[in-house]
Copies of this chain bind each other. A is one copy, B any other.
């Protein structure tokens, strides 16, 4: 029996086949927090964790995050705010609550339908007096009206009848870090608790620091199976910061009551009067009705998956996990809002405050560059919009140009705190913001890659080049001349491997800084010839001078970037550290710290937290010969513990590239399953955006070997695992949608009804002509 068959017809008809479902087949209260992240939904305007709608759960972190709504208050940094919880509908019979933790839930099943963006569950509640009630709920956040969410409850008393009591609740008592007393903080002030017209609840809030207003409204309808209204009374009750509408309804033995809750959240970011807009949208949503809204929502997911699905034949588990990562990744960003980005935990948890890190540019952006270039444009535009803040940030730190913050929220201020608190309450000085500067190069790199893949030269002219020039200017000011060695150096810096901080001449940082400067100069020269007006504008706006440009070039040229060939030292003195290699792996095939180093501090051992030199070689592949890449991969892989979710995917791809794939698949698994199997134990805090993007990269850029060759041409060097028979996916290459099919033998590229087939051994390169000229007819069915 498929899982959907376990649901009533009303839900079963909505659900996809099992391979598209993520299932929780038994209710375990200790796993609830992780499932709240896994089952989080996102509409593009907001994210809503998969908390149980009926409430009464002991370990729960219900949350509704709205893109762009940040606040600091007593916290260490501006955080994505937990906004009032609209996704609650308490159910009672004679005052006894009905919920998953009110008695043992029987026949429990909860599924996330990734295909349609739905969360569905069913169980039977048995009360202490033997009453049994079947509860089935299906919930979605509408991608058709992304400020709206809704869920429908099928409530069936199996062995009794009477009056069911409902509470349509919007709970504004929420805080961030609700279950972590040391970090718990309230970000919103409640300004209004009131009834909506004609019925329903409304909560007005504003952020405590900036006073940004937002409104949350919700209505509930109650019907029988024939659609007749069954709400026999309604009463609005304000309970302090809890807006509650009490509703009751008669229900007969074995009859099913259909209860729908419709909600909307609007902010002053989009509407001057959130209350008016919320009222309008909630009433329109209720008018359209659940089925109509759901159909519109599913049509949007049809379109999303038509672009984003990656089909792997021969590996069901990985297929499932990959779709899980793609689902949450593509659901998260705001389609029309370049003022927002994607947090390190997406919009599914509040760890890292919803901040954008370099994770965006190097792990997440490639997926969007290739699959949803419109979203990619928002992500890079976000950085441009915060360029002035990056300029301020550089100046504040004594540099020129633009220095992007390590953690970025809505204002572009550095949100990475100088002091942090351990779970035990001890404070420690956090040097990340002070020393870890490579994010600024990642911003530049991301823009360059965006433009190369999408062909969006307009972005570079309008925004990207200015950012590259200002970041180049930053790097030029960040380096110091070493007279003895006649070279420029970057001292006191932290590279991606944060276990060694700060160091001198981190190879990754130096080389990316050099790349940033040279790329900016190259693009500026290109612009001068191609778009003299843009060139002129930038020249004036940035007060560039020939002398400054010459200075940049000179600095870049004599920049110390470590060896070009052979083993690259991660930073000055790294090779002098006590050395030992990894010889043991845990049950997940993940490396264990060599015994020699137990109890040692980071800078007393050679062991890396995550890819650093390997990351450099991954990003600037064309600048290092393959033997150099292999030597370094071999050396550093033996010394890397992958204690960041950013590391395994890079090692998967680099292993494949250098022909050392003995652990590539394990790295892929590590990346793919991090959340769907909660294999780091921290999924409760949100989903890992970087490993989601990294997983997509492993499959497409890694195993399918897709990339841009040194001539800027789309090329493939596939190397599928033996168990995979075929991988199929779509991309948009410089504006042209392509369908890519990779097998062990060949790579097929379809565009506009035409198909071209390359033998794998021919090292396929897809020139722009290929797409147009190919005469091979398209293969049927996607």
| Given A95-B423, A425-B248; A175-B74 close (CB under 8 Å) | no
Check: A238 CB closer than 8 A to any chain B CB: yes
List the B side residues contacting A163 at CB < 8 Å: 424-425
B30 touches A239 (CB 8 A): no
A237 touches B94 (CB 8 A): no
Check: A108 CB closer than 8 A to any chain B CB: no
Check: A254 CB closer than 8 A to any chain B CB: no
Q: Contact partner of A423 among B94, B167, B181, B423, CB < 8 A?
A: B94
List the B side residues contacting A226 at CB < 8 Å: none
Closest to A180 in B: B95
A186 touches B424 (CB 8 A): no
Check: A435 CB closer than 8 A to any chain B CB: no
Residues 431-451 of chain A, each 1 if its beta carbon lies under 8 Å from chain B, else 0: 000000000000000000000
Check: A190 CB closer than 8 A to any chain B CB: yes
Check: A131 CB closer than 8 A to any chain B CB: no
Q: Give the 4 A-B residue pairs with the shortest CB-CB distance, closest first.
A: A163-B424, A248-B425, A186-B239, A95-B180
**Most chain B beta-carbon neighbours within 10 Å: one of A128, A179, A180, A239:** A239
Q: How far is the CB of A733 from chain B (nearest CB, A)?
A: 48
List the B side residues contacting A162 at CB < 8 Å: 424
For A, the interface residue count at a CB cutoff of 8 angstroms equals 40
A186 touches B237 (CB 8 A): yes
Closest to A205 in B: B240
Measured CA separation A172–B424 after assembly (Å): 28
**28 contacting pairs across A/B (C-beta < 8 A):** A58-B101, A74-B235, A74-B237, A90-B181, A92-B181, A94-B423, A95-B179, A95-B182, A163-B424, A163-B425, A165-B181, A167-B181, A172-B240, A173-B239, A175-B239, A175-B240, A181-B246, A182-B246, A182-B248, A184-B239, A184-B244, A185-B237, A186-B237, A186-B238, A186-B239, A232-B425, A233-B425, A241-B241
List the B side residues contacting A175 at CB < 8 Å: 239-240
Closest to A94 in B: B423
Measured CA separation A175–B233 after assembly (Å): 21
Residues 245-270 of chain A, each 1 if its beta carbon lies under 8 Å from chain B, else 0: 01010000000000000000000000
Measured CA separation A433–B244 after assembly (Å): 31
Instruction: Give the interface of A toward B (CB within 8 A).
Output: 30, 56, 58, 74, 90, 92, 94-95, 101, 128, 162-163, 165, 167, 172-173, 175, 179-182, 184-186, 190, 232-233, 235, 237-242, 244, 246, 248, 423-425
List the B side residues contacting A239 at CB < 8 Å: 173, 175, 184, 186
List the B side residues contacting A179 at CB < 8 Å: 95
Measured CA separation A185–B244 after assembly (Å): 10
Q: How far is the CB of A222 from chain B (nearest CB, A)?
A: 13
A173 touches B241 (CB 8 A): yes
Identical copies of this chain, number: 2
Closest to A188 in B: B240
Measured CA separation A181–B95 after assembly (Å): 6
18 additional contacts (CB under 8 A) given A95-B182, A173-B240, A184-B244: A30-B128, A58-B101, A74-B235, A94-B423, A95-B180, A95-B181, A165-B181, A165-B182, A165-B425, A173-B242, A175-B240, A182-B248, A184-B237, A184-B246, A185-B237, A186-B240, A240-B241, A241-B241
A424 touches B94 (CB 8 A): yes
Measured CA separation A185–B424 after assembly (Å): 39
Q: How far is the CB of A427 from chain B (nearest CB, A)?
A: 9
Q: Contact partner of A173 among B173, B181, B423, CB < 8 A?
A: B173
Q: How far is the CB of A234 from chain B (nearest CB, A)?
A: 11
Closest to A242 in B: B173
A240 touches B58 (CB 8 A): no
A190 touches B240 (CB 8 A): yes
Closest to A177 in B: B95
List the B side residues contacting A95 at CB < 8 Å: 179-182, 423
Measured CA separation A235–B56 after assembly (Å): 29
Measured CA separation A163–B425 after assembly (Å): 7
**Most chain B beta-carbon neighbours within 10 Å: one of A237, A244, A425:** A425
Measured CA separation A557–B374 after assembly (Å): 97
Measured CA separation A238–B173 after assembly (Å): 11
Closest to A190 in B: B240
Measured CA separation A90–B241 after assembly (Å): 21
List the B side residues contacting A172 at CB < 8 Å: 240
Q: How far is the CB of A314 from chain B (nearest CB, A)?
A: 40
List the B side residues contacting A90 at CB < 8 Å: 181
**Most chain B beta-carbon neighbours within 10 Å: one of A167, A233, A238, A240:** A240
Q: How far is the CB of A347 from chain B (nearest CB, A)?
A: 23
Measured CA separation A237–B184 after assembly (Å): 8
List the B side residues contacting A167 at CB < 8 Å: 181
List the B side residues contacting A74 at CB < 8 Å: 235, 237
List the B side residues contacting A180 at CB < 8 Å: 95
Q: How far is the CB of A47 from chain B (nearest CB, A)?
A: 22
List the B side residues contacting A235 at CB < 8 Å: 74
List the B side residues contacting A165 at CB < 8 Å: 181-182, 425
